[in-house]
Structure 1
Amino acid sequence: MPLHVPPAPAPALRSVLTALGSPTAVREAPTPSLRSASHPAVPELPLPLHVLHHTTPDGATATRLVGWRFLIRCGDRAVAAAETRPTPDGWTFSHFFEGPYVAATERALHQAESVTQPFQPRLLSVPGLYMLTLWLHGDCTADGAAGRPAATDLLVPLAPAPPGISADRPHRVADLLPILTHRVTPATTPLLGSPA
């Protein structure tokens, strides 16, 4: 079943196209693969990038949209990614980058296309664990820039994933989120004189 990729804001796409057309932006980016590409660079598969903001005591999650990420394809593969961010004046290009998350995102999207249930793909970052996941949201008609993970949504940790968490494997939000929350929540240190 094809994924229902949400449309990126037009200004976000324009800002990436402008950056790709700028020799200075491409030359100064830490992306040797993009600089040495022999095919034209094309932005595709825009994904809203959300950050896990916090989890409430009742287990509800709060996320916030921090940008849109585009895979940059040159020929038959993604060689880099471009990120945009919101500003008071609208969407603006932030930076190009490459690394393991580019290939991991492309691989996870390809695997998700074979799932029978339709999903809307998004990215969910868990900064406290230095972790990025492909978030497969069950409501394909939802605004990709809003919402929070539903218990039945799937999270696919992208490689490299933190120790003990299987990368490239879908996990239900209801199963994985409590583990992530437990790892991110700092342990409280008992006060001196209190029972341990």
Structure 2
Amino acid sequence: MPLHVPPAPAPALRSVLAALGSPSAVREARTPALRSAQGPLSPELPLPVHVLDRIGPGGLAPATRLAAWRFLIRGPEQAVAAADTVLTADGWAFSHFFEGPYIASTELALRQAEAGTSSYQPRLLSIPELYMLALWLHGDAEADAAGGALAPTDLLVPLAPAPPGIAAHRPHRVADLLRAMTLRITPGPGPLLGSPA
């Protein structure tokens, strides 16, 4: 599916480029792969990071809010880290560099999505209640990347590592995954009186 990657706000990109150009920012980053990268580094694939504030009962589509713009930092051969920017009172600003399994997992999910036939706008969806990150394939490829709610026709692709019981890199319709997530966070009935805890 042709993905329509939304353009990041220019100040967000400039702040990441400035951080990459700052030896102290790179040296102080807790990202060994970034510090040891040989050759030029460039920010690519800007994705808006939305946070799902709360999963409601009944699997109703909850509201999301834009929390960051994330850039994959590519070295000569592969992505070696990522950079997040956040909205401040002065506009978009560099937040931090990081590395870990979600970088390769994001690249894999994007490659898988590109192989399909439908058009989507890629976003990242953070689900703090489950310590989960998913590639959000928004059905309106021309939508404002800063807004929008989860639509029933959107797809969510959990990134690895995914919570137990949720398969990573398998596309799910929003309603289906919301149901599964609701079951994961809804506490069951407590122990009966007199039963072992």
Q: How high is the TM-score relative to the length of structure 2?
A: 0.92
Counterpart AA for 1:65: L
Unaligned runs of 5+ in 2: none
Give the corresponding residue for 2:62: 61
Equivalent residue runs for 1:114-133 within 5 Å: 114-133=115-134
Give the corresponding residue for 2:143: 142
SS in 1 for 2:53: strand
Q: For residue 187 of structure 1, report the CA deviation from its aligned partner.
A: 5.0
Give the corresponding residue for 1:86: 87
Distance between the aligned counterparts of 1:185 and 1:87, measured in 2?
Answer: 34
Counterpart AA for 1:32: P
Q: Kindly tell me: are residues 180 and 57 of structure 1, through their superposed partners in 2, closer, same or farther at Cα, counting changes over 3 Å? A: closer
Distance between the aligned counterparts of 2:100 and 2:162, measured in 1?
Answer: 14
Distance between the aligned counterparts of 2:187 and 2:67, measured in 1?
Answer: 24
Higher relative contact order (Cα pairs below 8 Å, separated by 6+ residues): 2
Give the corresponding residue for 1:49: 49
Distance between the aligned counterparts of 2:93 and 2:29, measured in 1?
Answer: 16
Q: Kindly tell me: are residues 165 and 127 of structure 1, through their superposed partners in 2, closer, same or farther at Cα, counting changes over 3 Å? A: same
Give the corresponding residue for 1:71: 72
Structure 1 stretches of 4+ moved >6 Å: none
Q: How high is the TM-score relative to the length of structure 1?
A: 0.92
Identity %: 71
Question: Is 1:24 the counterpart of 2:24 in the alignment?
Answer: yes
Q: Kindly tell me: are residues 17 and 118 of structure 1, through their superposed partners in 2, closer, same or farther at Cα, counting changes over 3 Å? A: same
Equivalent residue runs for 1:138-177 within 5 Å: 138-177=139-178
Unaligned runs of 5+ in 1: none
Give the corresponding residue for 2:96: 95
Give the corresponding residue for 2:11: 11
Aligned alpha-carbon RMSD (Å): 1.7
Distance between the aligned counterparts of 1:22 and 1:82, measured in 2?
Answer: 14
